[in-house]
A and B are shown apart, each in its own frame.
Chain A
Amino acid sequence: MEKAAKILKKPITSTLIAVVCGFLIAGVIIALMGYSPMEALGLLIKGVFSRPKYIFKVIEKSTPLILTGVSVAFAFRTGLFNIGAEGQYIVGSVAATVVGIKLSFPPIIQIPVVIFAGILAGAIFGVIVGFLKARFGIHEVITGIMLNWVALYLCNFVVNSHEFNKPSNSKTYSINQSGYTTILYNWKSSKAGIEFLRNNKWLSDILLKTDVNVGFLVAILVAVLVWFMLNKTTIGFGVRAVGLNPFAAEFAGIGVKRHITTTMAISGSICGLAAALTITGTSPHGLYLLTMFENVGFNGLFVALIAGSSPISCIFSGLFFGGLIYGGNSIQSGLGVPSEIINITIGTILFFVALTKVVPEIANRLAKRRENNA
């Protein structure tokens, strides 16, 4: 009994319960539609794990989600709701693309410059939100939402402009190849590469059919760095103090406004980094016309929330999220169940995450009942 209560109190337990509930409800919906839930689950698992290619695809899809998740989680810690992550991601990709097309340096310069451009653009959009909040008290949700749209149209403006538009295409040119971070990009299309891969099916599956790139490693590194920053540095201390009680922080001489702006700058730059890594790491290495949001930033909200705003947990919830999205396609193709079932599942999981306070509450009741019995 005591052990049960202890386990129930752990945050991971609540999250796992939420995940199970999400799958259960999705299963019920699938069953109501007349399909087999177990078959769907099987397809989902197969769609993620059955081929190395799939696993690497999931990692590729997850990389930006982990980063936008970390970005949102970081902002949460200062008490800011960074719904503008979507816009910060978009401007990051715009800046990275523009710079990547316009400049042509050797990789050792080109890659950092392109990535820095993305980071900078994201940071600028973040700072606008933070500054307006700190200076004028304007709600970050409003500015975030507005700037998302500004970013979307900015992207389309670049896509449609003469400079960058790839003729008779609704996308831009790709950035110069020297900016690619795809692993062994040149080698795998070289003669030796083709020859080698022909004899190595497993590797060719990964290297040729997916865009394996350094992004995932960077994402893990960033998550760890942000964790370190939050818990072991003075900046993180200030951020947490301001987030948990701005009034006490102010009184203790911690600059609340400065921290709000700084946090948003960091949060925005992580989104920008996510975007730049996507541009440099995966095809088409450029922008395409957006008719609606791609949701990379918005999905960061879900990743962060499921991770309970812990940057390290964002790695896992990001992978989980990416896996669901990618694996969801195989449910549709294999079974005919609309892939939107995945969004419903994730939404339901999140809904139960919102209820997670209830689980420790149950644990407390259990503990109390035990006392009463004793």
Chain B
Amino acid sequence: MLNDILPILGTMLMYSAPLIFGALGGVVSERSGVINIGIEGMMTFGAFMGAAVGYYSGNPWIGFLAGGVAGALLSALHAIASISFNADQTISGIALNLIGPGLSLFLCRVMFSDQTVTYPVQNKLPKVFGSIDITVVIALVLTAFIWFILYKTKWGLRIRAVGEHPAAADTLGVNVYAIRYVSVILSGLLSGFGGAAMTLAVVSQFSPAAISGQGFMALAAVIFGKWTPFGAYGACLLFAFAQALTVNLGGVNFVPSEILNMLPYVLTIVILVLFVGKSVAPKADGVPYEKGMR
């Protein structure tokens, strides 16, 4: 029995890590009041830069960091548009979902002799406890860290206040714009890490299919987890578990694999219907803040 479960759990953890990074990014951004639909694009760009820098430097950690920075760069665009220019946050996020993959594949062709895949990295990120990716551990630690920041420090208090009632925070001298900038850029950094975790730990190279929908799944996890770090973490584990089930049960003959593949997604909807119900977003989520508005 245990021997059946262990591989499933292993696969679950492996798939969960990139999702968790992305979801944490979503939590931070949306808690400060900026919707981030562009996680997918940021993850893709992070995945590419992670793999490319990892390949050229030979050091996966430098690659991992580069992935984060790449995500942060894209999110800075989102921040400028949605915070300084009061742009429509949904449109801006979607634009990044086009720019991120476009830029990745474009650069990939330029840097890797007109191919849409990078060369595999020589060194992947290390594994701990035998066969667990270190990104799994980092993801858990980061979840706890973000939770601590959000609920136990003054920055967290301010982030949450800005996402709920920016005018209240503003009248008390909290710089709404600065807090949101930091949160959105942090969100891009985390999403970029998520992408790099995919191409430097789960697989060893970037390809167009490396990030296909994980960003959106992460977004779903944010809502599913009610905008809390551990809620989102749990949601990611659940998604990953369902995915792991399909991978490990793939050999079973009586259910076609495609039907099995639908399982995680159907399961999510069923669970939402049964248990979660209405989820309440931060009050000012997606609402640009303009000084002097009453």
Whether the Cβ atoms of A153 and B261 lie closer than 8 Å is yes
Q: Contact check, B216 vs A145: say whether CB atoms are below 8 A apart.
A: yes
The answer to whether A142 and B81 touch across the interface, beta carbons within 8 angstroms, is no
Contact digits for A343-374, partner B, Cβ 8 Å, 1 yes 0 no: 11011101101110110000000000000000
B77 within 8 Å of A (CB atoms): yes
Known A132-B273, A136-B277, A157-B256: A351·B266 in contact at CB below 8 Å? no
A344 touching B95 by the CB < 8 A rule?
no
Q: Is the CB of A149 within 8 A of B262?
A: yes
Across-interface contacts of B82 in A (CB, < 8 A): 354
Contact of B269 among A33, A143, A344 (CB under 8 A): A143
Decide: A146 and B102 in contact? CB cutoff 8 A: no
For B90, the chain A residues whose CB sits under 8 A away are 81
Instruction: Assess the B96–A351 pair: CB atoms within 8 A.
Output: yes
The answer to whether B105 and A347 touch across the interface, beta carbons within 8 angstroms, is no
B213 at the interface (CB under 8 A from A): yes
Q: B209 contacts the other chain (Cβ, under 8 Å)? A: yes
What is the 8 Å Cβ interface bit string for chain A, positions 143-159, against chain B (1 contact, 0 not)? 10111111001101100
Q: Is the CB of A150 within 8 A of B262?
A: yes
Residues in B neighbouring A145, C-beta threshold 8 A: 213, 216-217, 219-220
Q: Which residue of A lies closest to B278 (CB)?
A: A137
Known: A160-B256, A292-B212. A344 touches B81 (CB 8 A): no
Chain A min CB distance to B270 (Å): 10
Smallest CB–CB gap between B113 and chain A, Å?
A: 12
The distance in angstroms between the C-alpha atoms of A83 and B126, with both chains bound, is: 37
**Structural contact, A146 and B91, CB atoms closer than 8 A:** no
Q: Is the interface of A mostly helix, strand, loop or mixed?
A: helix
Pick the contact of A343 from B91, B92, B102, B256 — CB < 8 Å?
B102
CB of A260 within 8 Å of the partner chain: no
Q: Are A350 and B91 in contact (CB under 8 A)?
A: yes
Chain B, residues 267-284, CB within 8 Å of chain A (1/0): the string is 011001100111100000
Residue A341 interfacial (CB < 8 Å): yes
Does B10 make an interface contact (CB < 8 A)? no
Q: Mark B249-273, 1 if CB is under 8 A from A, else 0.
A: 0000000101101101110110011
Name A149's closest neighbour in chain B (CB-CB): B265
Residue of A nearest to B106 (CB): A340
- For the complex, what is the distance from the CA of A347 to the CA of B85, rounded to whole Å? 18
Residues of A within 8 A of B261 (CB): 149, 153, 156
Total contacts A to B, CB within 8 angstroms? 147
Let me know if B106 and A153 touch, CB within 8 A.
no
Q: How far is the CB of B167 from chain A (nearest CB, A)?
A: 20
Residues from chain A with a CB closer than 8 A to the CB of B88 are 354, 357
* A103 at interface by CB-CB < 8 Å: no
Q: What residues on A are CB-neighbors of B203 within 8 Å?
A: none
- B208 partner residues in chain A, CB cutoff 8 A: 292
CB distance from A80 to the nearest CB of B (A): 12
Residue A301, interface by CB 8 Å: yes
A292 surroundings in chain B (CB, below 8 A): 208-209, 212
Given the known interface contacts A136-B273, A145-B213, A340-B106, the answer about A355 and B81 at a Cβ–Cβ threshold of 8 Å is: yes
If A150-B262, A160-B258, A338-B110 touch, does A142 touch B272 (CB 8 Å cutoff)?
A: yes
**Any B CB within 8 A of the CB of A102:** no
B148–chain A nearest beta-carbon distance, Å: 27
Bitwise, B79-112 to A at CB < 8 A (1) or not (0) is 0011001111111101111111111011001100
A residues within 8 A CB of B97? 347
The answer, yes or no, to whether A6 is at the interface (CB within 8 Å) is no
Cβ–Cβ < 8 Å partners of A56 in chain B: none
Within 49-106 of A, Cβ neighbours of B (below 8 Å) are at 81, 83
Does B181 sit at the interface, judged by CB under 8 A? no
Asked whether A350 and B109 contact (CB < 8 A) given A153-B258, A340-B102, A344-B102, the answer is: no
11 new A-B pairs (CB below 8 Å) besides A138-B269, A291-B209, A336-B114? A136-B273, A138-B276, A142-B223, A146-B266, A147-B265, A149-B265, A150-B266, A160-B258, A338-B114, A341-B102, A355-B81
B interface residue numbers (CB < 8 A to A): 77, 81-82, 85-92, 94-103, 105-106, 109-110, 114, 208-209, 212-213, 216-217, 219-220, 223-224, 256, 258-259, 261-262, 264-266, 268-269, 272-273, 276-279
- 16 example contacts (A-B, Cβ-Cβ < 8 A) are as follows A33-B110, A81-B90, A138-B269, A138-B278, A141-B220, A141-B223, A145-B216, A160-B256, A292-B212, A340-B105, A343-B98, A343-B102, A344-B102, A344-B106, A350-B95, A357-B87
